[in-house]
């Protein structure tokens, strides 16, 4: 004799299907490249094959109670945790410095902040990430005094990344992102550099922030927790 499924059993089944659907949606919507619980994320990407990225980026200067807010250019795998980014960081202490962060091919994270280089609030500086060879990737900043290394990590990656992008991020949804503007956005293909705009279909925005349309290879990002 077959038993009828209970209403509770049907309900549990529907709840399980809903949970799976939500998990898949979340996985697709928020790139795991930078996905860390509680981070506000806002940037635009382009797909292709990239050996580097560069942009002039204005230093974000929001008022934040704790943690940090950054603006960065990056190359990444987007949907898996391998990337390298470089840009400007504003800390709650008020300090503003260039930084680079990454996760290598083995899943090991890395970070370096040039605390000896002070950035002007809303000042525009050029940041560059480029493949140096032998699995090493370099991150630079250009100030009025010239180019400086931020970091030279060995990522054990010998091929291109499939995504390039620029935008902002903060350590909490209570912290603003930007406003920050990037201009002269370029990617490296082979040994040459080419201007690009982000793909409107490849925007990460988990905070209801604003990213402007790309115009002349430039765009702005902004998020305020009070909006």
Extended strands (E) in 134-211: 136-143, 146-151, 161-170, 177-189, 192-195, 203-205, 210-211
Interatomic CA distance for residues 48 and 161, integer angstroms: 8
- Predicted confidence (pLDDT) at residue 168 exceeds the cutoff of 80: yes
- Predicted confidence (pLDDT) at residue 175 exceeds the cutoff of 50: yes
- Band (pLDDT 50/70/90 cuts) for residue 6 is very low
Helix (H, G, I), strand (E, B) or coil at 202: coil
- Predicted confidence (pLDDT) at residue 28 exceeds the cutoff of 70: no
pLDDT digits (tens, 9 = 90+) for 177-216: 999 999 999 999 999 999 999 999 999 999 999 999 999 9
Phi, then psi, of 11 in degrees rounded to 5: -65, -45
User: What is the pLDDT of the chain when averaged over all its residues?
Assistant: 87
pLDDT digits (tens, 9 = 90+) for 57-95: 999 999 998 999 999 999 999 878 899 999 999 999 999
pLDDT over 90 percentage in the chain? 80
Sequence-separated contacts (24+) of 112-117 with Cβ below 8 Å:
112/150, 112/151, 113/89, 114/141, 114/148, 114/150, 117/141, 117/143, 117/148
User: How many helices (H) and strands (E) are present in the chain, helices listed first?
Assistant: 1, 15
Instruction: Give the pLDDT of residue 227.
Output: 61
Burial class (CB in 10 A: 0-12, 13-18, 19+), 34: buried
Token duo for residue 204:
């990460």
The pTM assigned to this predicted structure is 0.83
Instruction: Give the pLDDT of residue 37.
Output: 53
pLDDT digits (tens, 9 = 90+) for 86-129: 999 999 999 999 999 999 999 999 999 999 999 999 999 999 99
Question: Cis omega (within 30 of 0) on the bond before 211?
Answer: no
Instruction: Give the pLDDT of residue 226.
Output: 79
The average pLDDT across 33-44 equals 73
Complete domains list, the chain, with CATH = 40-223 (2.60.120.700)
Instruction: Indicate the DSSP class of residue 46.
Output: E
pLDDT over 70 percentage in the chain? 83
Instruction: Give the pLDDT of residue 22.
Output: 38
């Amino acid at each position: 004799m077959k038993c009828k499924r209970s209403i509770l059993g049907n309900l549990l089944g529907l709840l399980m299907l809903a949970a799976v659907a939500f998990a898949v949606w979340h996985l697709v919507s928020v790139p795991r490249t930078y996905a860390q619980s509680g981070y506000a994320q806002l940037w635009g990407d382009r797909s292709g094959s990239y050996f580097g990225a560069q942009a002039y980026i204005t230093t974000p200067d929001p008022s934040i109670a704790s943690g940090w807010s950054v603006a960065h250019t990056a190359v990444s795998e987007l949907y898996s945790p391998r990337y390298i980014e470089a840009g400007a960081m504003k800390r709650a202490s008020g300090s503003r410095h260039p930084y680079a962060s990454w996760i290598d091919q083995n899943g090991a994270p890395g970070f370096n902040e040039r605390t000896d280089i002070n950035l002007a609030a809303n000042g525009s500086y050029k940041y560059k990430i480029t493949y140096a060879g032998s699995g090493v990737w370099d991150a630079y900043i250009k100030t009025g005094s010239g180019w400086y290394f931020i970091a030279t990590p060995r990522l054990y990656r010998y091929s291109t990344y499939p995504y390039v992008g620029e935008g902002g991020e903060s350590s909490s949804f209570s912290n603003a992102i930007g406003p920050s503007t990037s201009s002269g956005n370029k990617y490296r293909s082979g040994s040459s550099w080419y201007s690009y705009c982000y793909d409107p279909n490849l925007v990460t925005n988990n905070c209801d922030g604003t990213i402007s349309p790309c115009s002349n290879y430039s765009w702005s990002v902004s998020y305020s927790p009070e909006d």
